Structure 1
């Protein structure tokens, strides 16, 4: 169990930016070396970059998509749980983990196309998706594109815009400060870290996505919108996404943060599993009131 002695940790370029005063515990300890499993790990060239992925379990395909600056291991709690029920497919998104960057301008559009390419490479007829943060955005974009057949999407802590209408102002401030540091390091030609990669990852969360709310009407899959009540994403923005999806459910988890898939995986996995395994319903209260 990894203990981070702050309430919020904002995942940026694989580092923790620490905020507030409480504790969040993230579990990254697993019996299986997720993200570095030589027994199952494979590379495939997609859209000009080598993308690393792993597969676990059998049954209906389930994609697990990690957040910004993360890698396969960030979804380890979900792999552990869902590999008993599904054919779990998990990858390092472009420029992260073991996957190549091969671009000077990383976009959600590019990462979405990479995941669609992986689906086509594996010849998957239909699938489900669980995406966390950036992964939740990618899941929604795949649903909007309708280039692959998706049954259900669990989108945790996704946003359509990078501004303060969607995310809390302190997050925008953190990203701006990080950008300033990275730009200075690049100007100084500092070689201690891969500042170009960090700049591109920051560009994802600081300048993207820019998804028109009207695009959500294109999503044919059933969608569960998930967030913590103390998420970096504003609750009203999660509600906005939910209200503009034709077939959706909404769950704001009490006492939870942006990091629930790892800090409270039992809760997260049980909610996601219920949505994936049960028939979709969106009943209206007026059906009972009028009777």
Structure 2
């Protein structure tokens, strides 16, 4: 009997291991386009349950969430979107801002007939999550922001990253890009050189619970992350030990469990400060 159970377990484990991993970001079975504010936004949906919007970082796409989507799809209706001018969401415009993208995500949720959603963002996506809560508070139930900054200088970013961005900008600012892809890449790069500009005081208007996360070796200064947390009326803070900027990938299992626990917590108390 035990031998039979062991055999069945091994067969089942083999079948699970043999299941192909979906090509997140390039999955025709889950992918859709939605015209929002003049841009065809590409998004993929997985699972069923309360809606959860995932927003990736600068220069990235839906595939950034490959280690997180399977976990959350067991309990949520995951909506992973390519931001404007990223991935398959083609944007021919000359300008790009976090305000534009926040409005895009609000429009996407409206088009999907979703009144409000849990929102999780990484890096630029974390900025977008905060901007969405500020500009469209009715659309956000709770938010998670990992590796987010509120302004683009060396008081928020680690000096090495800030210098790298400044050097890249100075070396290319006079170039006339004729190739559409390189022109788009430059627009996306410049987004982080000059933005965002969110005052700490503005975060007092975010009434929904927020979970602020960063790695202890993040490219965001830890004191900046703490200041964001302290400025939010209802927030949790997690500085992830032994982690860089990619908390959701470097510590995926713990990240998934902790953020899910935050979404499901019955109450998020006002922290003592």
TM-score under structure 2 normalisation? 0.88
Gaps of 5+ in 2: 1-19
CA contact (8 A) 2:120 2:126 kept: yes
> What corresponds to 2:203 in structure 1?
216
The answer for the alignment partner of 2:110 in structure 1 is 120
What's the TM-score once normalised by structure 1's chain length?
0.83
Tell me, in whole angstroms, the C-alpha distance in 2 between the residues paired with 1:194 and 1:284. 45
* TM-aligned CA deviation for residue 80 of structure 1: 1.3
Change (3 A) 1:260 1:147: closer
Tell me the SS of whatever aligns to 1:34.
coil
Question: Are residue 271 (structure 1) and residue 261 (structure 2) matched?
Answer: no
Determine the C-alpha separation between the residues in 2 that align with 1:282 and 1:157.
23
Structure 1 residues 123 and 285: CA distance shift in structure 2, 3 A: closer
What pairs up with 1:103-252 in 2 under 5 angstroms? 103-183=93-173, 186-187=175-176, 191=179, 194-252=181-239
Higher mean displacement: 277-286 or 233-242: 277-286
How far 1:205 sits from its partner (Å)?
A: 1.0
Give ranges in structure 1 of 5+ residues lacking alignment: 1-29, 287-291
Within 2, Cα distance between the matches of 1:231 and 1:180?
24
Match of 1:85 in 2: 75
Given that 1:46 and 1:117 are in contact with CA atoms closer than 8 Å, whether structure 2 keeps it comes out as yes
Aligned to 2:245: 258
Aligned residues: CA RMSD: 1.8
- SS of 1:230's partner is coil
Cα distance in 1 for partners of 2:131, 2:193 equals 18
Give the secondary-structure state (helix, strand or coil) at the position aligned to 1:148: helix
**Larger radius of gyration between Structure 1 and Structure 2:** 2
Structure 1 position 48 matched with structure 2 position 38: yes
**Which protein has the bigger helix share?**
2
Indicate conservation of the 8 Å contact 1:145/1:218, yes or no: no
Quick one: distance in 1 between partners of 2:271 and 2:79?
Answer: 35
State the shift of 1:197 in Å: 1.3
Question: Is contact 1:146–1:220 with CA below 8 Å preserved after alignment?
Answer: no
Partner of 2:57: 67
Q: Which has more strand, going by share of residues?
A: 1
